[in-house]
Amino acid sequence: MDRLAEHYALCGVALRDSDRDRWLACLFAPDAERPHLFALYAFNAEVSRIREHVSQPILGEMRLQWWIEALNGSPGGEVRGDLHAHPVADALLATIATLSLPRKTLVDLLEARRFDLYDDPAPDLHFLEAYCGETCSSLFRLASLILGGTGGKESAEAAGHAGCAYALTGLLRAFPWHVVHHQCYLPRDILERHNLEPRNLFAREDGPALRAALAEMRALARDHLGRAAQAVAALQRQERLAYLPLALLELYLREMERKDYDPYKTLVEVAQWRRQWALWRAKI
C-alpha cells in the first residue's frame, strides 16, 4: 500500500472511531469516492474536537491556524515540515487537488470553529444558523461535489437546510456535554423568549421553560430537515448519497422526546443496528 492509500485508510479508521454516523453513511458511497469522503469527514472530526484537546483557547487558535496555512499552501513554523506526515492533512489536500474542491469553503469552516474555543453564548438564532451553515452545510456541499454534484442552486439549497438540521440536532444531543464545559449554543433570543439565561443552564435548572426552549430548537431542526428533504429529492441519485446522514436525525429527535429524557444527563444515542437500518432504507 502506498503512502496516500494508507493515509486514506487511516482517515477511515479515525472517522469510524470519532464520527460513527458519517462513517456508516460513507459505506454506501461508491468505492472510488469513499476515500475522499473519509478524508473530508476525518478532517471535520479532528477540527470539531480541538477544544477537547487544548487547555486554553490560544492553543486551539494555533491548531486552527495550522490548518488554515496548510489549506492555503503557505505553511509556516511547524507546518513547514512534511505535511505528508499528517495522514488527514495529506489525504485532504490530495482530495482537494484531485477533485478541485474549493479551499475557501474549508477555510471558512475553520474560521467558524473559532467560536467553539470560547465560552461566549450564541447571541441569536441568525448567528447560530450561520454557524451551522459554515460548519455543517459546507460539509454537505463538499460531499455532494465529491459524489458528482454540480454545485448549482438546488445543491446549495439542499446543503443549507441539511447542515442546519444536522448541526442543530447534534448540538441538542451534546447539550449535557456543553453544559459541563460552560458552552451555550442555545441562542439568547430563544432563551429570553422563555425567560432563561445561560446561567440557568449552567446551574442545571430544569423545568417547563427549559423544556419549551429545547422543544423549539427541535422544531427548528425538523423544519430545516423537511426543507432539506424537498431540495434533496430534486438532485441526481448519486449526489443524494451525500445526504444519507439526514436519515438518522428523526431517530435522535424522538429520543429527546421520551418521557425519561433528562437534558442534563442524557447524551442521546441510538443503537447502531437502528442507525444502519435507517441508512439502508433511505438509500433504497
Among 79-93, 197-211, 244-258, 270-284, which stretch is predicted with the lowest mean pLDDT?
A: 79-93
- CA angle, 128 then 210 then 270, to 5°: 75
Name the residue among 92, 179, 164 with its Cα closest to residue 133.
164
Q: Tell whether 152 is covered by a domain.
A: yes
Last residue of a domain, one of 53, 68, 101: 101
- AA identity, residue 182: H
Report the 3 state secondary structure along 130-193: HHHHHHHHHHHHHHHHHCCCCCCHHHHHHHHHHHHHHHHHHHHHCHHHHHHCCCCCCCHHHHHH
- The answer on 89 and 131 residing in a single domain is no
Q: Tell whether 123 is covered by a domain.
A: yes
Q: Percentage of the chain surpassing pLDDT 90? A: 89
**Phi-psi category of 258—alpha, beta or left, where left has phi over 0 and alpha has psi -120 to 50?**
beta
Q: Cell match 450561520: residue?
A: 130
- The answer on 143 and 11 residing in a single domain is no
Q: Tell whether 189 is covered by a domain.
A: yes
Q: Tell whether 114 is covered by a domain.
A: no
* Averaged pLDDT, 29-47: 97
- The answer on 187 and 97 residing in a single domain is no
C-alpha cell at 274: 437502528
- The answer on 76 and 146 residing in a single domain is no
The C-alpha atoms of residue 187 and residue 196 are separated, in whole angstroms, by 11
CATH code for position 179: 1.10.600.10
Enumerate the H helices of 19-152 as residue ranges.
20-26, 34-48, 57-72, 87-99, 103-112, 125-132, 138-146
- The answer on 135 and 78 residing in a single domain is no
C-alpha cell at 58: 490560544
Global pTM? 0.95
Q: Tell whether 32 is covered by a domain.
A: yes
- The answer on 83 and 123 residing in a single domain is no
Provide the pLDDT for residue 132. 98
Q: Tell whether 252 is covered by a domain.
A: yes
- The answer on 126 and 1 residing in a single domain is no
The C-alpha atoms of residue 203 and residue 82 are separated, in whole angstroms, by 46
Q: Cell match 469522503: residue?
A: 37
Provide the pLDDT for residue 284. 62
pLDDT score of 259 more than 70: yes
User: Which one is predicted more confidently, 197 or 78?
Assistant: 197
Of the pLDDT bands very low, low, confident and very high (cuts 50, 70, 90), residue 77 is very low
- The answer on 280 and 143 residing in a single domain is yes
The C-alpha atoms of residue 68 and residue 88 are separated, in whole angstroms, by 14
Among 75-79, 159-163, 251-255, which stretch is predicted with the lowest mean pLDDT?
A: 75-79
List, as one string, the DSSP characters of 220-255: HHHHHHHHHHHHHTTS-HHHHGGGGGGGGHHHHHHH
Name the residue among 135, 125, 117, 122 with its Cα closest to residue 53.
117
- The answer on 123 and 97 residing in a single domain is no
- The answer on 201 and 95 residing in a single domain is no
State the residue range of the domain holding 216.
Answer: 119-284
Q: Tell whether 112 is covered by a domain.
A: no
Helices H, strands E: what count in the chain? 16, 0
Q: Percentage of the chain surpassing pLDDT 70? A: 96
pLDDT score of 39 more than 90: yes
User: Which one is predicted more confidently, 152 or 114?
Assistant: 114
Q: How many domains does the chain have?
A: 2
- The answer on 179 and 51 residing in a single domain is no
pLDDT score of 88 more than 90: yes
Last residue of a domain, one of 57, 74, 101: 101
Last residue of a domain, one of 67, 101, 135: 101
**What is the b/e burial string over 229-263, where b = at least 16 CB atoms within 10 angstroms of the residue's CB?**
bebbeebeeebbbbbbbbbbbebbbeebeeeeeeb
- The answer on 142 and 241 residing in a single domain is yes
Q: Tell whether 48 is covered by a domain.
A: yes
Of the pLDDT bands very low, low, confident and very high (cuts 50, 70, 90), residue 80 is very low
